[in-house]
Amino acid sequence: MAGIDYTTLIPNNVNLHENRRLQRALEDWQPKFLEWWQDMGPTGFQTKDVYLRTAISVDAQGWAKFGYTRMPDYRWGIFLAEPEPGRQVNFGDHKGQPAWQEVPGEYRSTLRRLIVTQGDTEPASVEQQRHLGRTCPSLYDLRNLFQVNVEEGRHLWAMVYILDAHFGRDGREESEALLQRRSGDADKPRILGAFNEKTPDWLSFFMFCFFTDRDGKYQLASLAESGFDPLSQTCRFMLTEEAHHMFVGETGIMRIVQRACELMREHKTDDLRKHGGIDLRTVQKYLNFHCSVSLDLFGSEISTNAANFYTAGLKGRFEETKKQDDHLLKGSTYTVAELDGERIVTREEGALVSLNERLRDDYVADCARGVARWNEVIKKHGIDFELRLPHRAFHRAIGIFADVRVSPDGQVISQAGWDAKHCDWLPTEEDKAFIQSLMRPVTEPGKFANWIAPPARGINGQPVDFEYVRLA
Ligand SMILES: [Fe+2]
Ligand SMILES: [Fe+2]
């Protein structure tokens, strides 16, 4: 089971050849996917050799091999994590029953919606990032961008497999629709807000990988708990790929911060723009933006949908099976933030309807650990500055805080107060134009743009000056 069959048109570890109907459906979808990749995948570079990793098994140890591949030749396929023998539904009303191998009829449309919403984010991010190759700060970063892109493409495959294998004709229609929507398109946008934003520069890209891909991690982790076993197995393997995306984000920002500190010390100023660096205040503004739009992805604080997904056994909590409680949550409560006039307070709410907020809490704690690591770099340089996560109520478009203006430190303010200050909190047109002005390609092996430090080490034990993308 662990090994992946690469001898077939569609690499897989699900014995695809045994299910001719499914195999035909996916073989019919494959050229449409490739057409989408050519139209909406990375601009340029499609004929270049890129040092990519490809899954060769789904074992915890050594699941990937590295080698030069042209992106359109990447072996996108269907890889499920090893099944857990005797797995059960671990929470909700069906707790203790054997995990479902087929979709329970009563949950068909709910589950389909959950899968489509997750699936839609995968091609969306590829579309958002498609122009970044032209302005890469190094070959190392260019390779990482493309690695993320091909894996998001594979995540689309992962979700399309579930749709085609388990949702019949509806599933096939959804699979087509996943290739029809376009990030940022007014007529046929992607489903979720953050996936219609632009990713116009590399600072945004690294922030996206840190904050928005991390939302993906938390959504996948709660779907990996699903009582619907094929979805669980699919998501568990996706999570192993996702870890690299967050690595790209966290280390990317860390290297920008590192370079900012070096320039500050060298020039004895925190105004780095004339020295071609990204000042920490600008980093903070981009952080505020990407954090807040990603917080929205978790949905409303109080959500009967979230309660229903849980009770039905479809979507669990982060690390559900590690938690020591009844996994039913009917009588328990959870602390949620709420608005009391001009003040943000907390109150106890039913645990089931608070599941979005609980997942958001897990996410915020994870983000905070990354920010602390960035701050260590600043501290090491003896610089008195601290990056901070904005308050969860800041700049929200979904949930109870969507209707109020809140400062990054969590004070409810007036519209006039917001108008006077938001330029200090979020990237302005001027900031964006400055960042854009830094986006000049650096493509000589081992060279890096002035605004970002080299990484501590290369990919897969290769040196930093390795030719990660062959441009010649
Ligand atoms: Fe993904
Ligand atoms: Fe990702």
Encoded tokens for 202:
């590399």
Question: What is the per-residue pLDDT across 439-472, written as a single tens digit (0 to 9) for each?
Answer: 999 999 999 999 999 999 999 999 999 999 999 8
Check: CB of residue 298 under 8 Å from CB of residue 216: no
Cα 76 to ligand 2 centroid, rounded to whole Å: 15
Nearest ligand (C-alpha, residue 220): 1
The type of residue at 217 is: K
> 2 pLDDT band (50/70/90 cuts)?
low
Is pLDDT of 63 > 80? no
Nearest ligand (C-alpha, residue 122): 1
Cα 84 to ligand 2 centroid, rounded to whole Å: 24
Cα 131 to ligand 1 centroid, rounded to whole Å: 18
Cα 216 to ligand 1 centroid, rounded to whole Å: 6
Cα 151 to ligand 2 centroid, rounded to whole Å: 7
Helix, strand or coil, per DSSP, at residue 287? helix
Cross-strand bridge partners of residue 440:
none
Is pLDDT of 291 > 60? yes
Structure-token match 């996917």, residue found = 33
Cα 118 to ligand 2 centroid, rounded to whole Å: 11
User: 5-13 contacts: CB < 8 A, separation 24 or more?
Assistant: 6/56, 6/75, 6/77, 10/76, 10/77, 10/78, 11/75, 11/76, 11/77, 11/78, 11/79, 12/77, 12/78, 12/79, 13/57, 13/58, 13/78, 13/79, 13/80
Rounded to the nearest integer, the mean pLDDT of the chain is 95
Mean pLDDT for 361-370 is: 98
Q: Is the dihedral of CA 13, 462, 369, 190 positive or negative?
A: negative
Cα 353 to ligand 1 centroid, rounded to whole Å: 26
Cα 96 to ligand 2 centroid, rounded to whole Å: 32
Question: H/E/C letters for each residue in 335-379?
Answer: EEEEEECCEEEEEEEECCCCHHHHHHHHHHHHHHHHHHHHHHHHH
Cα 436 to ligand 1 centroid, rounded to whole Å: 26
Cα 126 to ligand 2 centroid, rounded to whole Å: 10
How far, in Å, CA of 87 to CA of 98, rounded?
6
The strand pair at 405-406 and 64-70 is best described as unpaired
What pLDDT is recorded for position 1? 44
Cα 297 to ligand 2 centroid, rounded to whole Å: 14
What percent of the chain lies above the pLDDT cut of 90? 90
Is pLDDT of 74 > 60? yes
What pLDDT is recorded for position 60? 67
Cα 439 to ligand 2 centroid, rounded to whole Å: 23
What pLDDT is recorded for position 232? 97
Is pLDDT of 294 > 60? yes
Helix axes 229-267, 213-223, angle to 10 degrees: 160
What percent of the chain lies above the pLDDT cut of 70? 99
Is pLDDT of 68 > 50? yes
Cα 274 to ligand 1 centroid, rounded to whole Å: 37
Mean pLDDT for 181-203 is: 95
Nearest ligand (C-alpha, residue 249): 2
Cα 152 to ligand 1 centroid, rounded to whole Å: 5
> 65 pLDDT band (50/70/90 cuts)?
confident
Residue 43: phi and psi, rounded to 5, are -75, 125
Nearest CA to 424 out of 396, 392, 390 is that of 390
Cα 403 to ligand 1 centroid, rounded to whole Å: 30
What pLDDT is recorded for position 57? 72
Helix, strand or coil, per DSSP, at residue 405? strand
Residue 361: phi and psi, rounded to 5, are -60, -45
pTM of the model: 0.96
Mean pLDDT for 359-386 is: 98
Q: What DSSP state is assigned to residue 18?
A: G
Nearest ligand (C-alpha, residue 148): 2
Cα 151 to ligand 1 centroid, rounded to whole Å: 7
Mean pLDDT for 242-254 is: 96
110 contacts: CB under 8 Å, gap ≥ 6: 308, 309, 312, 314
Residues around ion ligand 1, judged by CB within 5 A, are 122, 152, 155
> 54 pLDDT band (50/70/90 cuts)?
confident
Cα 382 to ligand 1 centroid, rounded to whole Å: 37
Is pLDDT of 366 > 60? yes
Q: In Å, what is the CA distance from 222 to each residue of 128, 153, 191, 298, 323?
A: 25, 21, 19, 12, 13
How far, in Å, CA of 56 to CA of 207, rounded?
30
145 contacts: CB under 8 Å, gap ≥ 6: 42, 129, 132, 133, 136, 205, 248
- How is 184-207 classified by DSSP, letter by letter? T-SSS--SSGGGGS---SHHHHHH
